[in-house]
Structure 1
Amino acid sequence: MAARMIPVAALLAALIFHPAARAHVPIVMNETEAQAPSLPPILSLRERAEIENRILAERLDSIIPAIMREQGIDMWLLVAREYFEEPVVASMLDAENMHARRRTILIFHDPGNGKPVERLTVSRYGLGGLFAPAWDPGKQPDQWQSVADIITARDPTKIAINTSDLYQFADGMTLSQYGKFVSALPVPLRQRIVSGETLAIRWLETRTPSEMELYPGIVRTAHALIAEAFSQSVITPGVTTAEQVQWWYRDRLLQLGLVPWFHPSVAIQRQGAKGMLEGAEIIQPGDLLWTDFGITYLRLNTDIQHLAYVLKPGESKVPAGLRQGLANSNRVQDILTRHFAIGRSGNAVLELARKEAVAAGLDPSIYSHPIGLHGHGAGPSIGFWDNQSPDPRGSGAINANTAWSIELTSYAAVPEWGGQRVDFRTEENAYFDGKSVRYIDGRQTEITIIPSGP
């Protein structure tokens, strides 16, 4: 039958009564991906909030002092408005504060001499006890003057604000807010304003031990949903279309109380057909299926691409040429991850990996990126699907304690398909600890099989 439709009543019941994992048992990082893994228990919203708030407090306590001192910045000013949160401020809101309120201004100040970094909020509403209230509108009704008074009293050497032409994550200070801020600030202090670009990137890209304890379970959840999508419970060859599988993902996530960070992709490569077939195209025996799927859960994101093959009648395994194609992409993955090194730019890793892969007779295209609090995360890119040359966005240095989507493809002529050139896309999430890259929940090394009959 076609992709299953989930009744509205069942969706509501699942959302309200879905059992949470009362005794949470973490899934450990594993280099070997489980075949058709079981879906881990999904936490309730309250349980998620408790975890999110605990990790946010840990991040603020540990990452902020480290990156401010690393970059030699003694004050960092962040500004957001309700429903117009910049990426860094959005990542600092606790689980009960879904948006900034009115105008929310955050100030980090490092007084030096080993003293703790101050965390202040110049706003009418607090932020979950994570920032100390620093504005009394009854005494000083002008919010920007209050900011200027705070800065003047602390006399910082550098005042970082989030402005960046290159990185969207670090360009949160709008023109109107900047104008109000500078107008209130004493003239001598205006000369101390600097870009907080690197602070923003370092805050967003850095993964903590607590986050990495959670991440394998989050990736396992995505792996389990892909395995379910690429199965006979969802796909009936000759009936189900590519777009029905896409919308099955969306309905399944709604049922579980989870969200995607992009609309899932499903496409078909077929012997004798050019390119990727999508949309209303019906899945047939002999098709090579591809999916790109990502979720946001506990504030962390996944971004995964897998392949599946629909057996023809009489077939019991994937044709050797297709198996070799995935093995080629796995080999490119190995080459790429070997070239990760602290301080090496994304562009340098791209160049080294491509050179080695091409010399090995492979035909690669590499377009990997950081992942974490955003799906396409902060940090240096390693190639783009439409640009395999150095790019300004890949000029930044790779740092330890960062998570990555190892995203790439390799092309190969498949003998069983008359030498047709086939695209073997793959993407798995990994962690770089400063020494080596490890997959968070393994990687696909075998093409998933979907039987064509009962």
Structure 2
Amino acid sequence: MIKALRISLLFAILPFYHSFSQKIPVVLPERERAAVIDNILEDRFENLLPALMRREGIDMWIIISREYNEDPVMKTMLPSVWLSARRRTIMVFYDPGNGKPLDKLAIARYDVGTLLTGEWDISSNPDQWDALMKVIKAKNPKKIGLNYSATYAHADGLTFTEREEFMQKLPKEYHAKVTSGEKLSIGWLETRTEKEMTIYPMICRISHEIINEAFSEKVIQPGVTTTDDVVWYLRQRVTDLGLGTWFHPTVDIQRADDKNFDHLRTFAKRPGSQPIMPGDLIHVDFGITYLRLNTDQQQHAYILKPGEKEIPEYLKKAFAQGNRLQDILTERFKAGKTGNEMLAEALKQAESEGITGSIYSHPIGSHGHAAGPAIGMWDNQKTVKGTGDYPLHENTAYSIELNVAVQLKEWNKTIRIMLEEDGYFDKNGFRYINGRQKEIFTIPRQLHGVE
């Protein structure tokens, strides 16, 4: 009772509790993180997984991994104190039907945390595969889902060796029952629960506040600070806060010079370090990992020139086009639509409004580039085969990543407004998890009442 009350209290205070010394919300100590992670995992096993298995028509799902070569799905199912699989870990989820709870078993010599019961009696079945076959025969499932997929790496976690050994041991009469667990894997990975969406806004806010710090006079001294200085500030800040990150940040510059900014090269080759100067438009791509959820955000700041009090109007108008393209895309979020359909509709509407846009948005959650429908690629604005054909489901999260090309006569060149913000789609439509950038930051920040 006391433990349950403690966990409930953690969920209640997480979105609102802040440290006194800074804007960044409190980051939990490891012990409290473990309690939150395990509570969410139990809820997902009890309330999400049964519905997903029934939706996909799979009554037995078997996930097999060896230590340090874990299936991406299994990694999300391990309890907080398990940092990897042990030797060979086999998870079995069986739906007995008639609304009964799932059987959650581990073909292992011990339980996997408190949620999966160990089912391997080594005295009667010295061979682990034989112990698994005993369970399969006893349950006699209609369909056996295994994690193999030609489309999604997230759903292709069963290695060649493990699959070969499994099929050699599986009785012939069960071979026809084996099917890909691709859609079940994607459903498990992409679906966000109510408990996860209680903490996700706080995680996105932490990420936003770190960017807000990095893109300020606290970090940037024009003429002295370089883009690499800001990149490594971000990396160090993440480490100091006890967080993780799933990619190395990027900071780049656009300015009124004779060099054209090739945004495609920022994907294929990292920009070199440059000093940040007054009049620069700077851009960051940054994300964190915390409580097994990820963020992915891109924002802009402008370095005020001496005597300037605000951002030039032409940059404000350019930025507004980026916000408009975000709206065009998210207005097309509807359950059942594929990523390719949303991409085509959004680009057509953007063109009709005179916006030159490029869209490459992706699911986010358990992974940064997560499972679910791809909505364009940075190098493919037509049809994304496979992942772009996957339909949109409710209760899923996305990084709305895109850019607009805007010709600035003041700079005599085309610039790119490159934006990315994390959002959530449910029965009520799309919303940003912790808002989005609506105005370019100024460096230094302007103080009200100061002339």
Q: Find the aligned partners of 1:295 and 1:69 in 2 and give their Cα distance.
A: 33
Superposed CA deviations along residues 244-288 of structure 1, whole A, max 9, x for unmatched, are 110111111111111111111111111112216933210111100
Q: Which of residues 200, 204, 208 in structure 2 aligns to 1:223?
A: 208
Q: Find the aligned partners of 1:339 and 1:22 in 2 and give their Cα distance.
A: 36
Q: Given residue 408 of structure 2, which amino acid in structure 1 is its aligned partner?
A: V
Q: Find the aligned partners of 1:42 and 1:91 in 2 and give their Cα distance.
A: 21
Superposed CA deviations along residues 88-108 of structure 1, whole A, max 9, x for unmatched, are 000000110010000000001
Q: Which of residues 197, 211, 228 in structure 1 aligns to 2:182?
A: 197
Indicate the SS of the match to 1:443.
coil
| Structure 2 match to 1:183 | 168
Aligned pairs (5 A) from 1:404-443: 404-418=398-412, 420-443=413-436
Residues matched between the structures, number: 425
Q: Given residue 285 of structure 1, which amino acid in structure 2 is its aligned partner?
A: P
**Kept after mapping to 2: 8 A contact 1:236/1:452:** no
Does residue 315 of structure 2 align to residue 305 of structure 1?
no
Q: Find the aligned partners of 2:10 and 2:143 in 1 and give their Cα distance.
A: 47
Residue 453 of structure 1 and its aligned partner are, at CA, apart by 11
Indicate the SS of the match to 1:413.
strand
Indicate the SS of the match to 2:435.
strand
Q: Find the aligned partners of 1:78 and 1:54 in 2 and give their Cα distance.
A: 21
Q: Which of residues 391, 394, 419 in structure 2 aligns to 1:397?
A: 391
Q: Given residue 283 of structure 2, which amino acid in structure 1 is its aligned partner?
A: W
Does residue 304 of structure 2 align to residue 318 of structure 1?
no
| Structure 1 match to 2:6 | none
Aligned pairs (5 A) from 1:331-346: 331-346=324-339
Indicate the SS of the match to 1:416.
coil
Residue 24 of structure 1 and its aligned partner are, at CA, apart by 5.9
Superposed CA deviations along residues 38-65 of structure 1, whole A, max 9, x for unmatched, are 1111110111110000000001111110
Indicate the SS of the match to 1:203.
helix
Residue 22 of structure 1 and its aligned partner are, at CA, apart by 7.6
| Structure 2 match to 1:51 | 36
Structure number with higher relative contact order (C-alpha < 8 Å, ≥ 6 residues apart): 1
Q: Find the aligned partners of 2:216 and 2:144 in 1 and give their Cα distance.
A: 55
Q: Find the aligned partners of 1:27 and 1:179 in 2 and give their Cα distance.
A: 47
**Kept after mapping to 2: 8 A contact 1:241/1:279:** no
| Structure 1 match to 2:278 | 285
Q: Given residue 254 of structure 1, which amino acid in structure 2 is its aligned partner?
A: T
| Structure 1 match to 2:19 | none
**Kept after mapping to 2: 8 A contact 1:264/1:294:** yes
Q: Find the aligned partners of 2:88 and 2:227 in 1 and give their Cα distance.
A: 44
Q: Which of residues 93, 98, 121 in structure 1 aligns to 2:78?
A: 93
**Kept after mapping to 2: 8 A contact 1:242/1:278:** no
Q: Find the aligned partners of 2:168 and 2:86 in 1 and give their Cα distance.
A: 23
| Structure 2 match to 1:62 | 47
| Structure 1 match to 2:120 | 135
Superposed CA deviations along residues 204-229 of structure 1, whole A, max 9, x for unmatched, are 00000000000110000000000000
Does residue 13 of structure 2 align to residue 25 of structure 1?
yes
**Kept after mapping to 2: 8 A contact 1:78/1:161:** yes
Residue 84 of structure 1 and its aligned partner are, at CA, apart by 0.7
| Structure 1 match to 2:360 | 367
1:452–1:297 distance in 2 versus 1, CA, 3 Å: closer
Does residue 152 of structure 2 align to residue 167 of structure 1?
yes
Q: Find the aligned partners of 2:445 and 2:50 in 1 and give their Cα distance.
A: 57
Indicate the SS of the match to 2:64.
strand
Extract unaligned runs of 5+ from structure 2.
1-8, 17-21, 263-269
Indicate the SS of the match to 2:221.
coil
Q: Which of residues 31, 42, 55 in structure 1 aligns to 2:27?
A: 42
**Kept after mapping to 1: 8 A contact 2:52/2:184:** yes
Indicate the SS of the match to 1:248.
helix
Q: Find the aligned partners of 2:302 and 2:118 in 1 and give their Cα distance.
A: 57
Q: Find the aligned partners of 1:281 and 1:44 in 2 and give their Cα distance.
A: 37
Q: Find the aligned partners of 1:80 and 1:245 in 2 and give their Cα distance.
A: 39
Residue 25 of structure 1 and its aligned partner are, at CA, apart by 2.4
Does residue 108 of structure 2 align to residue 115 of structure 1?
no
**Identity, % of aligned positions:** 47
Q: Which of residues 261, 275, 284 in structure 2 aligns to 1:275?
A: 261
| Structure 2 match to 1:17 | none
1:253–1:352 distance in 2 versus 1, CA, 3 Å: same
Q: Find the aligned partners of 2:106 and 2:429 in 1 and give their Cα distance.
A: 39
Indicate the SS of the match to 1:279.
coil
Indicate the SS of the match to 2:114.
coil
Which portions of structure 1, spanning 4 or more consecutive aligned residues, are displaced by more than 4 angstroms?
21-24
Q: Which of residues 346, 350, 363 in structure 1 aligns to 2:343?
A: 350
Residue 452 of structure 1 and its aligned partner are, at CA, apart by 9.8
Indicate the SS of the match to 1:442.
coil
Residue 124 of structure 1 and its aligned partner are, at CA, apart by 2.5
Q: Which of residues 68, 86, 89 in structure 2 aligns to 1:104?
A: 89
Q: Find the aligned partners of 1:230 and 1:159 in 2 and give their Cα distance.
A: 51
**Kept after mapping to 2: 8 A contact 1:208/1:401:** yes
C-alpha root-mean-square deviation of aligned residues, in Å?
A: 1.7
Q: Which of residues 255, 263, 268 in structure 1 aligns to 2:240?
A: 255
Q: Find the aligned partners of 2:33 and 2:125 in 1 and give their Cα distance.
A: 38
